[in-house]
Chains A and B, each alone.
Chain A
Amino acid sequence: MPTTHDVLFRTLADPTRRALFERLCREGEQTVGALTSQAKVSQPAVSKHLGVLKQAGLVRERHEGRQTHYSAQLGALAPLIDWTKQMAGFWESRFDRLEDLLRRMDQ
């Protein structure tokens, strides 16, 4: 079974797909039409790429009338970023120092 990392990297490895995702990150929610007008590929191709991004959890779609709006889901990148781990490490080391301090303090 492919890992989350594999799926994310494979999805973003395609330059056209990555460009679409980056645009959604930079400019916020967009319709397929708006995305196609600035992409170098056809609307069906754009829709197909958006479908792959959606499967990977990187974009979300919202229907409004006959339009479908797409937005980037940055939370999906969390497994790659993992800042929470770094932050937890920072606090763990500060807790060590707190423990030392408490030991030295008067009651």
Chain B
Amino acid sequence: MTNTSTETRSVVVEREFPHSPEKMWRALTQPHLIQEWLMKNDFAPHVGHRFNLRGDWGGVLDCEVLAVEPNKTLSYTWNFAHDDPAYNLQSVVTFTLTATRTGTHLRMEQSGFRPGQPQAYGGAQAGWQQFFAKLEQVLARAD
């Protein structure tokens, strides 16, 4: 039976890439490379390191490295602080790399939304709606 008071919801996105885990690891852990596909950052691959991910839309995510296992696992918090609790977002992002015959299977899981927390839950929704709206503007300008 699920204990709904502690249950968290998560998003999982998986994809297979025709590149080695070592190369993938560099893209996930070197700041100038992270910036190219995710966001501007001051990431460092050390457990306990606190860093920010800065979106083009002006939003700043507060992150802390939770787990580093080279070429295998990377995990960090992904929190969005906002004065209005309805916009707060607290989550954990975990990347899992698995070597395959032809490259690397990458699994991203973002979790931590608790259905029992109306503010956090609704806030995640509101926060992401805002995020995507801004993202759309940025992409439109980039054309």
Partner-B contacts on A (CB < 8 A) = 25-26, 60, 72-75, 78, 81, 83-84, 86-92, 94-95, 97-102, 105, 107
Can you list 20 A-B pairs with a CB-CB distance of less than 8 A?
A25-B118, A72-B118, A74-B115, A74-B116, A78-B115, A86-B129, A86-B132, A87-B110, A88-B11, A88-B12, A89-B132, A90-B131, A95-B13, A95-B15, A97-B37, A98-B38, A100-B37, A105-B19, A105-B26, A105-B33
B13 near A92 with CB under 8 A, answer yes
10 closest pairs, A vs B, by CB?
A75-B115, A97-B37, A91-B13, A98-B37, A87-B11, A83-B125, A74-B115, A102-B19, A101-B37, A101-B36
* A-B contacts besides A97-B36, A105-B26, 7 pairs, CB < 8 Å: A75-B4, A75-B115, A83-B128, A87-B128, A91-B13, A98-B17, A98-B27
Residues of A within 8 A of B37 (CB): 94, 97-98, 100-101
Say yes or no: A107 contacts B23, CB within 8 Å: yes
Chain B's closest residue to A86 (CB) is B128
Chain A, Cβ-Cβ closest to B30: A105
Are A101 and B33 also in contact (CB < 8 A) when A25-B118, A88-B11, A88-B13 are?
yes
- Cβ < 8 Å to A, chain B residues 41-71: none
B108 interface contact, C-beta 8 A: yes
Q: Could you tell me which residues of chain B, from 13 to 30, have a CB within 8 Å of some CB in chain A?
A: 13, 15, 17, 19-20, 23-24, 26-27
- From A78, A86, A107, B9 is in contact (CB under 8 Å) with A78
**B 95-120 to A, binary, CB cutoff 8 A, 1 in contact else 0:** 00000000000101010010111100
Q: Mark B120-132, 1 if CB is under 8 A from A, else 0.
A: 0110110011011
Q: In the complex, which residues of chain A have a beta carbon less than 8 angstroms from the beta carbon of B124?
A: 83
> What are the residues of chain A within 8 A of B129 when measuring CB–CB?
86
Complex Cα distance A38/B66, Å? 46
Which of A72, A90, A92, A107 is B132 in contact with, Cβ under 8 Å?
Answer: A90
